[in-house]
Structure 1
Amino acid sequence: MFFAFLFVATSLSPVGGTQYPIPYQFLPKRPPSNPYCDRALFPFCPTGDPTGKTVVAADNDTFDIYSLQAPVWEFITGDLLANFKIFHDAIGFRSRATGLNYTLEWYELFELFNCTFPHVVPGTPYPVWCNEGATCFYDGIDDRHWSENGSLVLIGNISGSDFNKFIEWLHRDNDSAVYYITFRVAQDPSLSTIYIEPWDCSSFVLRAFDHLASCGAVFNGSVAVNHTRLTLFSRPPIPLGNTSEIFGPQGNQTLAKSMMAFYSYFQPHQSIGNYFKHLVDILEYVLVQDKFYYWYNDEYWLLHLHEPYFGLSFDFVPFPKH
């Protein structure tokens, strides 16, 4: 449930004829999920409506808007990741007319690790991705969950009629913004050139804030809210092709073999011994072979990572004004 697309805090910057950040690819319709991915341990949106139903507000109502944050994997590790500023983001709403509260989240359908690296399945000649994300809208706000180790902050309000406009956008967005992207890819820590923006819980919240403002929401500019970002530092990404172009009958078998080996090192449910062995293998790929394979927009990319290779930040992004 967490990290990183498409609130572009920096302007689009063309480098070498390519526009950066590379725009996220929206789909015309959410595709059926791969049945293999249904083996995830934790159900998606257990307290939400299974049909995706939200709420219809009275036009003359007013909804308070809350920023919600809690440590990632709090249900497993408690407040541990809060010490590293690794938070999951969500939005809360409260109807002034009814007093009812609602929570809106966007997170991975099949758990975070599955969204970050694919599965290498015996007998399947290509990586199997389980990297969909989706919205989860449900009744109530768990005050203790959000405020105990994170934050629950009133940040603005919106009229009932404008809230309904936002909900219309939410359904459209959920049907087209399908794939979860964990890592931001940037040229260096200055973030002067961002090649790829993440698409995760915090980036969804930022996009939702932007659309709430465009619908008429008013935000409290005196409130500061930061958001977690995981960044890979790389030279410009090199496109390699899609699944059929690499792993198909006429594909690049040498490249396919290298990619399958690379992803095999990130498989879950390994022994402790294999984790340490594969950590060495990963370092060999990144530091010696100068390769990191990255999936984005249904296509594979080659990243040439460089120092400092990886960054964890807690970025301040001001609320939008419309």
Structure 2
Amino acid sequence: MRAVTQLSFGTPDVLVPTEAARPVPGPGEVLVRVRAASVNPVDAHVRAGTLPMLGEPPFVLGWDVSGVVEEVAPDVTRFEVGDEVFGMPCFPRPAGAYAEYVAAPAGHLVRKPAALDHVRAAALPLAGLTAWQALVGTAGLREGMRVLVHGAGGGVGHLAVQIAKARGAEVLATASAAKHDLLRSLGADRVIDYRTGDFAAGLDGIDVVLDGVGGYGPRSLPVLAEDGVLITLIERNSPELAAAAAAAGRRLAGPVVEPDAAGLTALAALVEQGLLRPYVQHVLPLEEAAKAHGLIGSRATPGKIVLTV
């Protein structure tokens, strides 16, 4: 099968199109013919070696997949050959999504919403589950809460805005000016340009701050309500931030995304209701994975980048 393999840590050009052995599904697994796989910031960190969660190369990157079930292990009953599925299999263990085929635990996949093509379905799992598990699982988001999303124009951020809005929250978002129109179209009640002023000026009583960028934690603590929570996706291991939150008497959380069929089902339901839509800025062929990594490294791309297979 076609795949993109990296043989060493380094810049995007270590990602090389190759031929690889097609995986064989084990007990509880299905073989998925991948139609699309999205690129996430965590992929770039693993590639560069700053987050060596897959050990030493060689390996095939990627977790987000959307495709068609090609084979089913004998003990799997939830899927049949021909089913269209999507998910984030195995994270943080290797999934090898930058390839024509992926063997995945059946419990890490759900049926693809009919309202999404494979490109947009592939854009949803990792970023969507990160936002869902943070806002719904960690923060217990409910109607009437006030939510501040930092980095709202990015992969996680633009989905977090929509999830919070769908659950009846008031949504404030920080982003560069170029992404404001997109965020307003996705339901943000107020969009703040972090480059032109202090985002915290005049803000208070925020129930949930979601920081997917890093560096906003200490400045976000004063805007939180007394029972509010700061959720950081980047600085979860920062003793300085933990100390600042303790001194301010505010709750701090740093959840790590995990495979979650129930969460994926909930996201798919929001899609079918017209309340959630992944925004894809760039679609590239699998062989241009290196180019995709160059784009995601710029941090200027709104929404998601997806590889077609």
Q: Indicate the TM-score class for this superposition, using the shorter chain for normalisation.
A: under 0.3
Report the TM-score when normalising by structure 2: 0.28
Structure with the bigger RCO (C-alpha within 8 Å, sep 6+) is: 1
Greater Rg over alpha carbons, structure: 1
